[in-house]
């Protein structure tokens, strides 16, 4: 695969991610995507054999980018594990707030929508969220070692935090009000002080 083709595939994925983050997966038609990406239909089908495989690739690219952001944040020197974890939660709060122009969470946007439509996309979402939770659990375990967090069961605490924030993001979206995110922040502080 030459550089031009790799760039075209990436361009289609990035364009698709932006549109899907706004409209959902089912609402995005192939013609809309092709017009926005300014690529011919043949280019789409060269890289993606179906819309479902395209959706799976969008999710894989989303998780790769998101996990990279977490890894960079959690590798920040000079911060305790608690500070790194709270910085992650603050970023989540900001990105999901109504005032943010940041890309919205595709797990929030697509979780319920595609779980019953596509087994491949459901598994990609499941595996991606598992990788996020694993990173949170490692940070929580590091916090017990560096003394910045109490001795918590890392995986169970990470799952609880992720579920709390995922639910708060959905409720904030439904209510068009950031108070569920503020409540998730307060609940997280309580949980991490236990």
Into how many domains does the chain fold? Answer: 1
4 domain-assigned? no
Helix, strand, or coil here: 38? coil
Positive or negative CA dihedral for 44, 45, 51, 53? negative
CATH number of the domain enclosing 138? 1.10.357.10
C-alpha atoms less than 13 angstroms from C-alpha of 75 in its C-beta half-sphere: 6
pTM for this entry: 0.89
Task: Tell me, yes or no, whether 162 lies in a domain.
Answer: yes
Write the DSSP symbol of residue 79: -
Is 41 part of a structural domain of the chain? no
Question: Tens digits of per-residue pLDDT, 82-91?
Answer: 999 999 999 9
Run of H or E including 148: none
Give the model confidence (pLDDT) of 58-84 as tens digits. 999 999 999 999 999 999 999 999 999
Residue 168, in any domain of the structure:
yes
Residue 126 DSSP one-character state: H
Q: What is the residue-averaged pLDDT of the chain?
A: 91
């Amino acid at each position: 695969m030459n550089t031009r083709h790799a760039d075209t595939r990436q361009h289609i994925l990035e364009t698709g991610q932006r549109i899907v983050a706004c409209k959902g997966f089912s609402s995005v038609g192939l013609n809309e995507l092709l017009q926005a990406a300014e690529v011919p239909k043949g280019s789409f089908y060269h890289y993606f054999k179906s819309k479902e495989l395209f959706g799976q690739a969008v999710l894989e690219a989303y998780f790769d980018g998101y996990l990279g952001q977490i890894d960079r944040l959690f590798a920040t020197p000079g911060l305790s594990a608690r500070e790194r974890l709270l910085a992650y939660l603050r970023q989540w709060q900001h990105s999901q707030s109504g005032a943010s122009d940041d890309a919205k969470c595709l797990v929030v946007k697509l979780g319920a929508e595609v779980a019953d439509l596509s087994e491949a996309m459901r598994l990609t979402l499941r595996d991606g969220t598992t990788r996020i939770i694993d990173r949170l659990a490692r940070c929580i375990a590091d916090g017990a070692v560096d003394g910045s967090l109490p001795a918590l069961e890392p995986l169970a605490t990470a799952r609880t935090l992720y579920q709390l924030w995922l639910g708060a993001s959905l409720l904030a979206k439904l209510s068009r009000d950031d108070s569920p995110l503020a409540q998730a922040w307060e609940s997280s502080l309580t949980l991490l002080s236990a």
